[in-house]
Copies of this chain bind each other. A is one copy, B any other.
Amino acid sequence: MAQTNPPFMTGVPELLLLRLLAQREMYGYELVRAVRLTTGEAISLGEGVIYPALHSLERQGALKSKRKAVDGRTRVYYSLTALGRRRLERLQGEWQRIQTAVTAALENPGRA
């Protein structure tokens, strides 16, 4: 059980969170569903992935949080900082680089 280190997923949670939060502020539980939706159910991240990732990003200054009470529930809304936006851009570039390279290698492993 507990499939550890699933292929191609390293860095993906962070990238998706930053991308979603670049649009509007959201809270953890909401992000769990948003990831499933925006990836067309192809990627599903559990709370055990989302929450630690959010905390880590906040600790590093990429996100800032704000508690809000809604319908007697407490939500923690996250939004991007300037540092977070730069981080998103950098990560997005990395993704582009690797995605392009791997796809090219798969299609044409004979020549560069």
Contacts and interface: CB of A to CB of B under 8 A. Distances in A.
Interface of A: 5-12, 14-16, 19-20, 22-23, 35, 37-40, 42-43, 91-92, 94-95, 97-106, 108-112
A11 B11 CA distance: 12
Contact of A38 (B19, B100, B111): B111
A106 B35 CA distance: 11
Closest 4 CB pairs of A and B: A7-B11, A42-B101, A10-B10, A39-B101
Given A38-B112, A42-B98, A42-B100, A8 B8 contact: yes
Nearest to A34: B109
Nearest to A23: B109
